[in-house]
């Protein structure tokens, strides 16, 4: 058996691979995120990760170049998040540090292995002068409506600091539990918040000048997502049952109920104005922003529900309780934002008139009062992260294609207006026309489910090609027919492109449990630890790929990260006859349950048996194909011990195994040099095993 040492680094470039560009050149593509638009001005802010150097950029008007506002010039593993602009457009605030994609609350990380501890810190920038201020330790900032102060979370409690840093930050108040979800009322004299206290949570209000917190209709529930009415006299929030009571079945699907509540500040008890239908579709939406509760205009409260089988927007009148569905159709709604007057909603959705649009995103605008949706974008591109700007006269968003990466784009909301790309100078000199346009394909799983995928076919292949199944993580994700707006999949898209340039056929599979194809697809029967039915789609993809005329059926590999790593390990353990090699990146491998003999669900033993059957570690006896196992040991999403368990089992069985261990990094490869190691090792391994090079 061969092993990669933690510090091993593979060189890459034209000398190693005979293709038209080097992996290093493609990976130099900057990843842009955090697009934020000023509501009154035409100012755009966004972050750019340029080979690990993460900085804040500003575009101050049409046709203006992107201007770098910060000078963080090392690959230091410190991400930039929570970018926002003050209501008056004078200040910006952002957070530096932590891993905000982790499953647990963000904590300081040290992916670069510095000898001193790292922090999560708040910064402000004066957008006129460019002056940068370090405001101290903190996270999740929000501007006061007056723009001069910022409230934020530090050690699970709310703090406040002047935007210009003229005074040191100080606690705003302190309560039991962990504070989250803060929102100022319109005049800035009261702050609503949630305090989580284990199995339950309360809504509280801090009133300026008062010595006590006002609690809003406390109950034996989990109350969260407090939203002020536009006049500041009422609050809407979401109420869910607190956890507790006798344990129910672990295998049976169950409805999770929730309600929209409304209360005046002087009311003793909140009123339930809407309760979700008692159906599986009506359960708590497993979706970006969850309930997406908002109160944009006085007579409309907006929320998102999956109740008709797709995640759509609804409004409810706070007095009459009449409900109206704003968006309808077989598509998803996400990236939701509001005009400054609250009258319009911009969102992106996977629908349109171009073939394959269910694997893209386009932007729609709908009146909060209801009515026809205006589809602002269309075609074979992908548009995400919309927001209104320039006094609601324009929308700003990220756009990309199969070839061109994400760039800020502005579209005036007037007839015949054309989108204006911004920041093109950031892309450098790489020739993106060399990239392949993936083709949408579909096939049927044995149980009749239609599965969509994107195929990357090598250009000018003269014989049957080796092939690779790519499995995304999540599992609540969807890969597109172009660059992705999430950083993890932005770089996986690069990897798929590069593998195709080497001569591989790559099939990126949107398996069941993923998003984009409706409730039943996202919530299938017998999935995850209850039977791993999603693996049926991965196996079907491998069999479908083996039948394609340009594919060598004896040279099919598989790779993926996180949930994709889990399914990669399942494929190698259960079907080494089809999958001849694989790269398993920080996957879950052992889902066996531990028995609590004092109290456990009535079907615990059966659930434990099925969970073990759904674990890759269970299937090592049939594992024959070579594997590369990759994991970082500060992973806050999948425990490092999951790969320890699998590696030890594979060693015992004599399975040819290589590994790459990354000390101190997380699930999201915060250090760019570590990301390069992972991608290079993965590509090299697949090439060696399937091309015999």
- For the four alpha carbons of 255, 260, 265 and 266, in that order, the dihedral sign comes to negative
**Tokens matching residue 673:** 């040099």
Phi-psi region of 630 (alpha: psi -120 to 50; beta: other; left: phi over 0): beta
Where exactly does CATH 3.40.50.1820 map onto the chain? 433-690
The pLDDT of residue 460 is 79
CATH superfamily of 433-690: Alpha/Beta hydrolase fold, catalytic domain (3.40.50.1820)
Rg (C-alpha) for the chain, rounded Å, is 25
**Tally of CB atoms within 10 A around 253:** 10
Q: Where are the alpha helices (DSSP H) in 487-603?
A: 487-502, 519-522, 535-546, 563-574
- Contact (CB, 8 A) for 148 and 161: no
3-state secondary structure of 470: strand
β-bridge pairing 581-585 and 627-632: parallel
Q: How far is CA 578 from the centre of its chain?
A: 31
Q: Which of 202, 224, 201, 223 lies closest to 214 in space, CA to CA?
A: 202
Fold of 173-245+253-325: Neuraminidase (2.120.10)
Residues of the chain with pLDDT under 70: 1-19, 593-599, 693
Give Cα 268 distance to the centre of its chain: 38
Phi, psi of 514 (to 5 degrees): -80, 175
For CATH 2.120.10.30, list the domain ranges present in the chain. 173-245+253-325
């Amino acid at each position: 058996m061969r092993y990669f040492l933690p510090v091993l680094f593979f060189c890459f470039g034209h000398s190693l691979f005979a293709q038209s560009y080097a992996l290093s050149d493609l990976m130099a593509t900057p990843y842009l995120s955090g697009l934020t638009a000023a509501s009154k001005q035409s100012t755009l802010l966004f972050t750019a990760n340029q080979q690990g150097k993460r900085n804040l950029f500003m575009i101050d008007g049409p046709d203006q170049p992107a201007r770098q506002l910060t000078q963080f010039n090392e690959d230091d593993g410190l991400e930039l998040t929570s970018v926002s602009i003050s209501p008056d457009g004078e200040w910006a605030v952002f957070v530096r540090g932590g891993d905000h994609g982790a499953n647990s609350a963000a904590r300081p990380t040290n992916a670069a292995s510095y000898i001193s501890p790292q922090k999560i810190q708040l910064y402000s920038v004066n957008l006129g002068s460019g002056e940068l201020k370090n405001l101290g330790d903190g996270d999740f900032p929000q501007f006061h409506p007056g723009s001069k102060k910022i409230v934020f979370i530090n050690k699970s409690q709310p703090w406040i600091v002047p935007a210009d840093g003229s005074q040191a930050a100080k606690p705003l108040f302190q309560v039991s539990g962990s504070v989250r979800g803060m929102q100022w009322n319109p005049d800035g004299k009261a702050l609503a918040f949630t305090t989580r206290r284990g199995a339950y949570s309360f809504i509280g209000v801090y009133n300026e000048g008062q010595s006590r917190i006002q609690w809003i209709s406390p109950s034996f529930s989990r109350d969260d997502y407090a939203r002020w009415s536009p006049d500041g006299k009422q609050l809407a929030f979401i109420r869910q049952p607190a956890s507790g009571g006798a344990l129910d079945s672990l295998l049976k699907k169950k409805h999770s109920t929730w309600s929209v509540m409304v209360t005046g500040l002087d009311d003793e008890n909140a009123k339930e104005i809407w309760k979700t239908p008692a159906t599986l579709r009506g359960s708590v939406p497993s979706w970006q922003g969850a309930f997406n509760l908002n109160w944009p205009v006085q007579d409309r409260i907006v929320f998102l529900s999956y109740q008709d089988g797709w995640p759509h927007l609804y409004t409810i009148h706070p007095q009459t309780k009449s409900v109206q569905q704003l968006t309808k159709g077989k598509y998803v709604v996400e990236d939701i934002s509001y005009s400054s007057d609250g009258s319009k909603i911009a969102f992106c959705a996977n629908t349109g008139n171009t073939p394959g649009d269910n694997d893209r995103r386009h932007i729609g605008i709908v009146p909060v009062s209801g009515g026809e949706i205006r589809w602002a974008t269309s075609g074979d591109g992908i548009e995400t992260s919309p927001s209104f700007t320039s006094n609601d006269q324009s929308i700003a968003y990220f756009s990309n294609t199969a070839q061109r990466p994400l760039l800020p784009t502005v579209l005036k909301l007037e007839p015949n207006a054309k989108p204006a790309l911004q920041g093109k100078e950031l892309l450098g000199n790489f020739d993106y026309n060399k990239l392949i346009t993936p083709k949408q394909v579909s096939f049927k799983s044995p149980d009749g489910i239609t599965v969509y995928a994107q195929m990357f076919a090598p250009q000018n292949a003269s014989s049957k090609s080796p092939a690779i199944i790519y499995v995304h993580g999540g599992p609540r994700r969807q890969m597109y027919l172009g660059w992705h707006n999430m950083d993890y999949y932005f770089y996986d898209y690069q990897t798929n492109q590069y593998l195709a340039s080497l001569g591989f056929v790559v099939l990126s599979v949107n398996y069941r449990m993923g998003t984009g194809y409706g409730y039943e697809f996202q919530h299938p029967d017998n999935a995850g630890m209850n039977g791993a039915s999603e693996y049926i789609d991965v196996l079907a993809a491998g069999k479908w790929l083996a039948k394609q005329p340009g594919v060598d059926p004896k040279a099919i590999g598989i790779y993926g990260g996180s949930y994709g790593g889990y399914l990669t390990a399942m494929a190698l353990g259960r079907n080494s006859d089809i999958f001849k090699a694989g790269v398993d990146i920080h996957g879950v491998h052992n889902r066996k349950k531990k028995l609590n003999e004092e109290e456990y669900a009535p079907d615990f033993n059966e659930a434990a048996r099925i969970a073990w059957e759904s674990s890759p570690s269970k299937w090592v006896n049939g594992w024959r194909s070579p594997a590369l196992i990759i994991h970082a040991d500060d992973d806050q999403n999948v425990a490092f011990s999951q790969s320890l368990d699998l590696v030890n089992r594979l060693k015992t069985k004599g399975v040819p195994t290589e590994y790459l261990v990354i000390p101190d990094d997380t699930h999201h490869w915060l250090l760019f040099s570590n990301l390069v190691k992972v991608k290079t090792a993965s590509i090299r391994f697949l090439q060696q095993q399937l091309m015999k090079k």
